[in-house]
Structure 1
Amino acid sequence: MTIGAVSYLAGFLAFAFLEILLVINWHGSARGRWLILASGLTAVWCLILGWQENFHVFSARFIWTTELARTYVWLAFLGKLLSPNAGEHGKTSGGRAGIRWVGPAVALQLLYVWLEPYLEQRYPEIFRPAYQLIGHIGLALVGLILIEQYFRNTRTDLRWRIKFLCFALGAMFAYDFYLYSDALLFNRVNADLWAARGAVAVLLTPLLGVSAARNPDWTVDLFVSRQVVFHSVTLLGAGAYLLLMATAGYYIRYYGGEWGAVAQIVFLVGAFLLLALLLFSGQMRAHMRVFLSKNFFNYAYDYRQEWLRIINTLSDTRSGQPLEERIIVALGQAVESPSGVLWVRESAGHFTQRASFGDPNISIPRIDGSDPAIRHMETTEWIINLEEMVTMPEAYEGLTRPEWLERAPNAWLLVPLFHKDRTLYGVLLLTWPRTEIRWNWEVIDFLKTASRLAVSYLALEDAGRALAEARQFEGFNRLSAFVIHDLKNLIAQLSLVVRNAERHRHNPEFMSDAIRTVDHAVGKMSRLMSQLKNLGSGHAVADIELGALVREVVAARTCQAPAPKLGRLDHPLVVRANRDRLASAIEHIIHNAQDAAGKHGWVVVRLRAEPHGHAVIEVEDNGHGMDEDFIRTRLFKPFDTTKGLTGMGIGAYESREYIRSLGGELSVKSQPGQGSLFSFFIPGVKEPSANFATQEVKSA
């Protein structure tokens, strides 16, 4: 089999495969019909020329007729594309007008092909073989002109749909123009150029297939899996790279002299390492996916695959990642963002940082619910693109970059997470993508839809947590009934001692027994009190001078080493709260600090005023400290304790919730091995009530 036959056979197989895809996915469009006809006739053309290359059974007139038929059908397809009136039901009035002058020219040339032997024999001075070549050159020029007109008359924003078609047909007509111009110049057809046409046709089929998939008005809905395209392109690129490296290695060895063999080995090992690095590079894969989406597909996403990926990521509890991190991953992968931060709305209206993923280098524990960026997202349901905010400020109604993101240069998108009834449930920040992303309505709508799904998972999990906590509190309330029963027994024992004390107080045995009973009762009540002291109700509020209260709590905690020390005490600072509950909240944090610092450590308590009117109580220790993950996931989680059976894990939670009920906040700064700093932010009272008596607070 000759090389020409192999070339045309490859072209036949490629166009036959394209023809099968087009026929299966065709829905009756006239333009699609002409594309199917052109592809099918090109496959037949390749088959005939391949057969001719190997067996030479067809006459020259038949071969030239096949050439003209293939050229005409592609010109007719271009005429149909240029027709503005070609409808879905095959109305071709405009299409026939577009090619009416091409048909007679092809028919005239076809007539000349069949009459050529007679005319050249009868009138040799007039008719020559060169006329036939001139006709083919003219048809190739007509094809190039039609392609130029089609591209020029297509709207600029739609040219991405047709550019591969223009490349493919432009290459075909340009090749024909060169082939026949060379034949006219040298008075013979170049055999190599003729034989290579089949292989050139193979290169055109992917471009035609992509064009058919990009143009839904042709109603030829070709679908090619993005995964297949991605892996095929990767495999093809890797193969070309290895072939190039093998060639380079051969020349290195050939021209390297005595060092050639060693240099070749080192070069090939380095080439393989570079290929492995490229194949496993997340940034390179991101570039490849975006390039393929931009240039080979109608849409930026394969929505079926993307939706399945997001659902699988959100529901993958076996990964060990918390749901909040899985949300960042799921939405970040949609726009090639490697990291992000998630804030969730609290009951007080502000947003607290719930999770971060990757390395965003952004630590913003809290966002005020009245922040302009938050208000803008709530009002417009708009995703804030921080780069677009600078280049297109009119799209954001004068909104500027949030102050709390000034130290986050890698911040890119603020995605609002809306739950039912347009409630802003949370905010997701995504950092800059690995590769450039075409920011358009498709990406925006996809992120909005995916965020709705993600927040439904998050709201469901939060509801489950709240239900579990409620059940735990219910169980704890049942436990309280048993505690009250024990207290009743203790009261009965002590009451009996009191009643008998008047009669037997001079009896040494009675006194000894009474002391043992009281000691037992005190020990048991102390153990009960250590677990229940923060659960008292006490809803009465009053104006409280914090300096006196802090001194009282510190004095009460001197019973345990290390005894807390008083630092700075600003006075007078007045707050409005329930004295017992506030004292319990402060005392519990001091107690925790003493436990963390150990007997040989230190605990310092300070009180100061903030410029905006808040009072701040700081409790600092030099204990073992806590990492960010522990603070975020365990410190304030009810019934989660590190003290074993001696703790119940509700003290820190109850302290924070009570401070929040006052409109304040309990924040923590800590690092492993460097101690902890708890800060109570409590709103101050500017004008104390009339019955409030200012207490003198001595400086510590």
Structure 2
Amino acid sequence: MQWDGAPAVAAFSHGMALLAFVVLACLLLRRTWRQRPHARAMAWTAAATALWAASCMAVVVADAWPPPDGVVIAAPVLVEAAEALRTACWLALLLALSGAAPRLLVCAPLLPAAALTVSMQADASPLLRAGLPLASSVLGMLLVEHLYRSAPLNKRWGIKFACLGMGALFAFDFYLYSDAMLLRRVNPDIWAARGMVNAMSAPLLATAMARGPAWTPGLQLSRQIMFHSAALLGAAMYLLAMAASAWYLRYVGGAWGALMQLACLCGAALLLTAVLFSGAMRARLKLFISKHFYQGRYDYREEWQRFTRALADDAGGLPERAIQAVAALVESPAGMLWLRGADGAYQPATRWNLPLPAATEGADGPLCHLLSARGWVIELPEWRAQPARYDGHVPPLWAAQLWLIVPLMLDRSLFGFICLAPPRTALQLNWEVRDVLKIAGSQAASYLAHRASAESLAVARQFESFNRMSTFIVHDLKNLVSQLSLLLVNAEKHKANPAFQDDMLDTLSHSLGKMKHLLLKLRRDDAPDAAAPLQLDELLARAVQAHVGSEPRPSLELRAAGLTVLANGQRLERVIGHLIQNAVEATPRSGHVAVRMQESGDSAVIELSDTGHGMSEQFVREHLFQPFVSTKTAGMGIGVFESREYLRELGGQLQVTSAPSQGTTFRVTLPLHKEFDHGKK
């Protein structure tokens, strides 16, 4: 072969690269340059690049002058090995310049080693041969871009030439191997120019090192990028292993090979999909990345943005979203929210993937005292194992299957608490996790308190509007009553036709009576209701008798007689009558409505039960006692609310037990009024 044309160009190009990087390596190893940051690492990388250029030049020379017979030179293997070493050194150098941890540096040779392995396979696909070096060049360009952007603005002057030189190396490799993937072969002209491009990068690297650059202090990879990259890498390795297994099954399976191969691939894809969608696997991967790649568990900016978005989102109920947002911080799959009620006790308000217990916690109980006084995030397994640390108290029975109790503190007082189920994967509850949960609990408490205040204000405005409307109606009715009264008087004085006048008088009297009755119902007396001793059996008899014509007809059962309470008779009778009316309307004609009264300690208990359509637990908890919320077409939605408020004024309670299609039971509890005769103890 003559030494001219393309071989001479390729040899000259790579010879220039060899000369440039040998000079660069010698400069970096001089005593005056050794003190510069990363000078030794740059020198070894330059030496590896010079070795690669020498091997490429040797291949070109060997092709131009073949060796004598009997002499075998493994030139292609030498070039591929030298190129893998060169690429690995440049990737490792970029990671070191970015301040990556030493455990990340071992990842640099992975792609070049894979490319070398594939190149040694004679039957390897051309796409795979070019694809792996192409991936290495893309990774190199990404690292160069990260190195430059992560550097402070006042430090970029020292590293810009180095980034330009290293970026040129990987950019040209990207051009070379992307063209090779397109055409299924390496273009000899582009390959020949590769050495010259590398040689032109050496002066830029020397200039940058002469300026004594201050590299960026650390590689900053977000947790999301690490998580998705690790998941993608694991999936790729898994699919490659399954593809190799399927190929082996096809190779040894004979006639069944094709079926076994397709079954293996489909089963592998289904298994991979199930694993990727598994919450437990995702939680374990996140925990592994946080534990082994980062000093802190949380990316606080990302977590706080996610938490705030979850609470501010309008979709769904705020209580349930608060549970989910707090649970996501510790990978918990379920939880429940307890809030302080009007009586000061804490009751379960809502749940997420957990049943609500039929229990309450007093404000002065051991659990609420620990939460409010100490502000702890209580770990229930620790409480059970070390009760002495919790003042000798034992956890409540309803928390047997729970893991954490997170206090919701608002203005240094306990607004409520969130109970969480055990996490999907084992999690060490250190000081960082506890502090994050405390801050999240306070944020959730502020959102819940703001929502409660807004709802209370809306109810107050509705009552104000209702009172204003009632005032106008009363005023108009007074005018109508006055006019009709005057008309009635005039009609009595000037009647001419007795039959006509009598009919008119009957009509006007009936209208006048209806309007007076409406006026009495809408009118509110400014004086407070007078409470007096009241016989409950007589009141219940009147209330039931008022609905004697209803279907179904309510029944009355008095298990105790002569029970007396201190209340306003009209208001209490209106409360009982309203509950009876609701039961009758909710029950079909073939159903049953019963009113029972009994004595329980110092209280009188009135139960009103029906076999109607019933109510769901969520409706009872969230809507039944809300004013201006009604399931009736013409209802105003204040009857049950007003009934409960008046019973609370008397010191009593109104409790509800209901289930869909099983009926409802209202339980009215009133304190008994006892009169003592003078002179008797």
TM-score range, shorter chain: 0.5 to 0.7
Matches within 5 A, 1:80-479: 220=217, 222-317=219-314, 319=315, 321-357=316-352, 359-364=353-358, 366-403=360-397, 405=398, 408-420=399-411, 422-479=412-469
Q: Which amino acid aligns with 2:319?
A: E
CA contact (8 A) 1:538 1:581 kept: no
- CA distance in 1 between counterparts of 2:572 and 2:629 reads 22
Cα offset, 1:40, TM superposition: 5.8
Structure 1 residue 306, shift from structure 2 partner: 0.6
CA deviation after TM superposition for structure 1 residue 371, in Å: 2.6
CA change 1:434–1:615 in 2 (3 A) is farther
Shift of the 243–52 alpha-carbon distance from structure 1 to 2, 3 Å rule, reads same
Q: Which residue of the partner structure matches residue 519 of structure 1?
A: 510
Deviation at 1:311, TM superposition (A): 0.7
1:563 paired residue number: 553
* TM-score w.r.t. length of structure 2: 0.66
Per-residue CA shift, 1:154-180, capped at 9, x if unaligned? xxxxxxxx9x868989xx9xxxxxxxx
Cα distance change of structure 1 residues 535 and 41 upon mapping to structure 2, 3 Å threshold: farther
Corresponding residue to 1:488 among 466, 478, 489: 478
Please say if residues 494 and 518 of structure 1, whose CA atoms lie closer than 8 Å, have aligned partners that are also in contact: no
Q: After superposition, what is the alpha-carbon deviation per residue over 1:390-420, rounded to whole angstroms, capped at 9, x for unaligned? A: 12323322121113x1xx5432222221112
Structure 1 match to 2:618: 629
Q: Are residues 555 and 535 of structure 1, via their aligned partners in 2, closer, same or farther at CA, if it must alter by over 3 Å? A: farther
2:619 partner letter? F
1:609: how far off? 3.1
Secondary structure, aligned partner of 2:546: helix
Contact 2:379–2:404, Cα closer than 8 Å, also in 1: yes
Does residue 673 of the first structure (1) align with residue 661 of the second (2)?
Answer: yes
Deviation string 1:113-172 (CA, Å, 9 cap, x unpaired) is: xxxxxxxxxxxxxxxxxxxxxxxxxxxxxxxxxxxxxxxxxxxxxxxxx9x868989xx9
SS at match of 2:221: coil
What is the CA-CA distance between 1:559 and the residue it aligns to? 4.4
In the alignment, structure 1 segments of 5+ residues that lack a partner are 6-11, 13-33, 58-69, 71-76, 78-161, 173-198, 210-218, 692-700
Any idea what SS the aligned residue of 1:378 has? helix
SS in 2 for 1:624: coil
Corresponding letter in the other structure for 1:51: A
CA distance in 2, matches of 1:426, 1:617: 32
Matched to 1:232, the amino acid is S
Structure-2 change in CA distance of 1:394 and 1:440 (3 Å): farther
2:383 & 2:523 partners in 1: Cα distance?
Answer: 52
**Structure 1 partner of 2:86:** none
Matching residue's letter, 2:568: N
Question: Given residue 633 of structure 1, which amino acid in structure 2 is its aligned partner?
Answer: E
CA displacement at 1:523 relative to structure 2: 4.3
SS of the residue 2:629 aligns to: coil
Q: CA deviation at 1:369?
A: 2.7
Residue pair 2:350, 2:356 contacting (<8 A) in 1 also? no
User: Structure 2: which amino acid aligns with 1:634?
Assistant: H
Structure 1 position 498, deviation (Å) = 8.5
DSSP 3-state at the match of 1:244: helix
What is the CA-CA distance between 1:335 and the residue it aligns to? Answer: 1.3
Q: Aligned pair 1:610/2:600, yes or no?
A: yes
Match of 2:47? 48
The CA distance in 2 between the partners of 1:572 and 1:288, in whole Å, is 70
User: Is the deviation greater in 627-636 or in 468-477?
Assistant: 627-636
- The answer (yes or no) to whether the contact 1:536–1:581 under 8 Å persists in 2 is no
Q: Deviations over 1:666-686 (max 9, x none)?
A: 22222222221112233344x
Shift of 1:558: 2.5
User: Once the two structures are superposed, what CA deviation does each residue of 1:438-474 show, in whole Å capped at 9, x if it has no partner?
Assistant: 1111111111111111111111111111111111111
Secondary structure in structure 2 of the residue aligned to 1:663: coil
Contact 2:614 2:658 in 1 (8 A): yes
Q: Is the 8 A contact 2:481 2:515 kept in 1?
A: no
Is residue 654 of structure 2 the alignment partner of residue 650 of structure 1? no
Give the AA of the match of 1:652: V
CA distance in 1, matches of 2:282, 2:675: 65
- Measure how far apart 1:285 and its partner are: 1.3
In the alignment, residue 460 of structure 1 is paired with which amino acid?
H
Inter-partner Cα distance in structure 1 for 2:389 and 2:43 = 55
RMSD between superposed Cα atoms in Å: 4.0
How big is the shift at 1:665?
Answer: 2.6
Structure 1 residues 243 and 657 mapped into 2: Cα distance closer, same or farther (>3 Å)?
A: same
1:619 equivalent in structure 2: 608
How far, CA to CA, are the matches of 2:546 and 2:363 in structure 1? 38
Kindly state the Cα deviation for residue 303 of structure 1 after the two structures are TM-superposed.
Answer: 0.5
User: Is it true that 1:545 corresponds to 2:540 in the alignment?
Assistant: no
CA contact under 8 A between 2:613 and 2:663: conserved in structure 1? yes
Task: Give percent identity, aligned residues only.
Answer: 38
Judged with a 3 Å threshold, the aligned counterparts in structure 2 of structure 1 residues 533 and 292 are, in CA distance, closer, same or farther, namely: farther
Q: How far did residue 426 of structure 1 move? A: 1.6
Give the match's secondary structure for 1:540.
coil
The residue matched to 2:623 in structure 1 has which SS?
helix
Q: Assess if the C-alpha contact under 8 Å between 1:623 and 1:676 holds in 2.
A: yes
Amino acid at match of 1:269: C
Cα shift readout 1:16-46 (whole Å, capped 9, x = no counterpart): xxxxxxxxxxxxxxxxxx9995x66345424
* 1: CA distance, partners of 2:317 / 2:335: 14
Change beyond 3 A, Cα 1:581–1:498? farther
| Structure 2: distance between partners of 1:536 and 1:342 | 41
- Structure 2 unaligned runs (5+)? 1-9, 15-20, 22-33, 57-88, 90-95, 110-135, 147-215
Distance 1:40 1:311, change over 3 A: farther
Kindly provide the CA deviation profile for residues 492-548 of structure 1, in whole angstroms up to 9, marking residues without a partner as x.
4368759988999x9555443333223334445566777x59999743333433333
Number of corresponding residues: 506
Deviations 1:636-689 (A, max 9, x none): 1111222223x211111111122223333322222222221112233344x446
State how far apart, in whole Å, the 2-side matches of 1:479 and 1:267 are. 74
Q: Distance in 2 between matches of 1:588 and 1:536?
A: 23
Q: Does the CA-based 8 Å contact 2:611-2:662 persist in structure 1?
A: yes
Counterparts of 2:525 and 2:294, CA distance in 1: 62
Given that 1:534 and 1:581 are in contact with CA atoms closer than 8 Å, whether structure 2 keeps it comes out as no
Alpha-carbon distance in structure 2 between the residues aligned to 1:360 and 1:274? 29
Counterpart code for 1:669: T
Please say if residues 604 and 619 of structure 1, whose CA atoms lie closer than 8 Å, have aligned partners that are also in contact: yes
Rounded to whole Å, the distance in 2 between the matches of 1:282 and 1:166 is 28
The answer to whether the 8 A contact 2:330-2:427 is kept is yes
